[in-house]
Amino acid sequence: MDLNVLWFVLIGILFSGFFFLEGFDYGVGILLPFLGKNDRERRVIINTIGPVWDGNEVWLITAGGAMFAAFPGWYATLFSGFYLALVIMLLALILRGVAFEFRSKLVMPAWRKLWDAMLFLGSLLPALLWGVAMANLILGVPVDADQILRGGLLDLISVYTLIGGLFSVLLFTLHGAMFLRLKTGGELEERAAGVVKRLWPFVLLAGGVLMTFSSSNTDMFDSVLPVFLASAGLLAILIGGVISGKRPGWSFILNGLTIVLATAALFTGLFPRVMVSSLDPGWSLTIYNTSSSPYTLNIMSIVAAIFVPLVLVYQGWTYYIFRKRLTTESELEY
């Protein structure tokens, strides 16, 4: 495996980890106003992700940094062409982070409702925009021969990309509900279980619609994508069986594997491209015409081999420390 392929795979792994971990973060934030019937219950919901949400976002920062260093051409075209969408996402994430810190500073009901709304909005918008962005990558965007994306925010919106956004919102919301089943007790756990049972068929339906549109609107089925999609579909069906058997741990793991497989399917379908040009397939960005020098990739590989295991150990330790279930009788920080 050459270094270009290696770093493409590593970036795919980083995005898979990000969507797996941050996916339930977004889902918990989306479900906050619906599952929390009073302030105490909403505090419990927020505290399930309070100690880990910022660590989960490190995966995105690392993926963005790896993209910038390994494939600067990809980074430049993506971040300039998707500029307005990324600004909207960034503002939503800022509001979300501020909401975690500010919500409990005052006891005033209006104050807390305001930051609960910001937490909901700061979770819903990124969940939607990530689905739209990923759908655009495989559908194709107007990239010209100079690797410049010609178009604005409205050019990124279509029926297909909105279906991708809807699917990501539903999938992350389901992931969040499954996480709350593991992390809460009492009535909150029961409500989360009810959301899981009602929501998973809609996730399966949205995934099927997205697959159908993908087969007719993209060239993704020319690769090994069907294998990944079939695996993801099988996992989704297994999740339904596990849900009916009341095994929240297994359903959470299987849903997480569905997210990982869907991300792997996207990167596999793209390879060796990183952005598909809708103007001319020959103008598509690839891991070769956007990459850094071999020397840079080699140095990056050495640094990654040293520090990535340390980050994984630290994050695993964090989840171990905060593994206990929370109830309305627990001591709460946020």
Task: Supply the pLDDT for residue 307.
Answer: 87
3-state secondary structure of 270: helix
Cβ(30)–Cβ(124) under 8 Å? yes
| pLDDT score of 166 more than 80 | yes
| pLDDT score of 182 more than 70 | yes
Nearest Cα to 27, choosing from 206, 179, 226? Answer: 179
CA distance readout (Å), 42 to 37, 189, 271: 7, 13, 43
- Strand positions, DSSP E, the chain: 273-275, 285-286
Token look-up 């995966």 returns 59
What mean pLDDT is reported for the chain? 88
CA 195/CA 31 separation, integer angstroms: 9
**Residue 105: band (very low, low, confident or very high) from pLDDT cuts 50, 70, 90:** confident
Task: Supply the pLDDT for residue 31.
Answer: 97
**Residue 227: band (very low, low, confident or very high) from pLDDT cuts 50, 70, 90:** low
| pLDDT score of 312 more than 70 | yes
Task: Supply the pLDDT for residue 230.
Answer: 66
**Residue 231: band (very low, low, confident or very high) from pLDDT cuts 50, 70, 90:** low
Give 118-165 pLDDT, tens digit per residue: 999 999 999 999 999 999 998 999 999 999 988 777 888 999 999 999
| pLDDT score of 106 more than 70 | yes
- Identify the DSSP state of 222: G
| pLDDT score of 1 more than 70 | no
CA 113/CA 108 separation, integer angstroms: 9
Cβ(230)–Cβ(238) under 8 Å? no
Tokens (6 digits) for 22: 């941050």
**Residue 226: band (very low, low, confident or very high) from pLDDT cuts 50, 70, 90:** low
Model pTM?
A: 0.92
Task: Supply the pLDDT for residue 214.
Answer: 85
**Residue 4: band (very low, low, confident or very high) from pLDDT cuts 50, 70, 90:** very high
Cβ(170)–Cβ(199) under 8 Å? yes
3-state secondary structure of 278: coil
Cβ(276)–Cβ(135) under 8 Å? no
| pLDDT score of 298 more than 70 | yes
CA 14/CA 19 separation, integer angstroms: 9
Task: Supply the pLDDT for residue 221.
Answer: 66
